[in-house]
Structure 1
Amino acid sequence: MEDGYIRQLWVAEARTRRDDVRNGLVKTIPGQEVLDRVRKSVTR
């Protein structure tokens, strides 16, 4: 039962994030750019 509840919460979160992107409330970042930023921050 708990797994189902947690899954529902994640589905709701995913939909909220999707809607935020679609409505222009957040800007997406290309995957390669994210990896480059992470690598840069780790090598400091």
Structure 2
Amino acid sequence: QLAERLVESLENDTIQKLWIVEAKKRRDEVRSGRVKPISGDEALEQVRKLIA
């Protein structure tokens, strides 16, 4: 059980670090103007259109 918990904690750390890298990349894209942010409502509307 201890070994499993250690592996899980390492995996969680890796996943967390990857999400931080992704979040910073997205932040930089918005700041540079390369990506235009949209509201949550607009995002949901676009998703609904895609799956309809």
Q: Same fold (TM over 0.5)?
A: yes
Matches of 1:35 and 1:7, distance apart in 2? 25
Structure with the bigger RCO (C-alpha within 8 Å, sep 6+) is 1
Q: Relative to structure 2, which stretch is displaced further, 18-27 or 29-38?
A: 29-38
Kindly report the root-mean-square deviation, in angstroms, between the aligned alpha carbons of the 2 structures: 1.4
Structure 1 unmatched ranges of 5 or more: none
For residues 1-44 of structure 1, what are the alpha-carbon distances to aligned partners after superposition, in whole Å with 9 as ceiling and x for unaligned? 1110111001000000011001101111122222233344445x
Matches of 1:41 and 1:5, distance apart in 2? 32
Question: Of 16, 26, 42, which residue of structure 2 is paired with 1:33?
Answer: 42
Structure 2 unmatched ranges of 5 or more: 1-9
TM normalised by structure 1 equals 0.72
How many residue pairs match? The answer is 43
Amino acid at match of 2:40: G
The aligned runs of 1:1-20 (5 Å cut-off) are 1-20=10-29
TM normalised by structure 2 equals 0.64
Q: Work out which of the two has the higher radius of gyration on C-alpha atoms and give 1 or 2.
A: 2
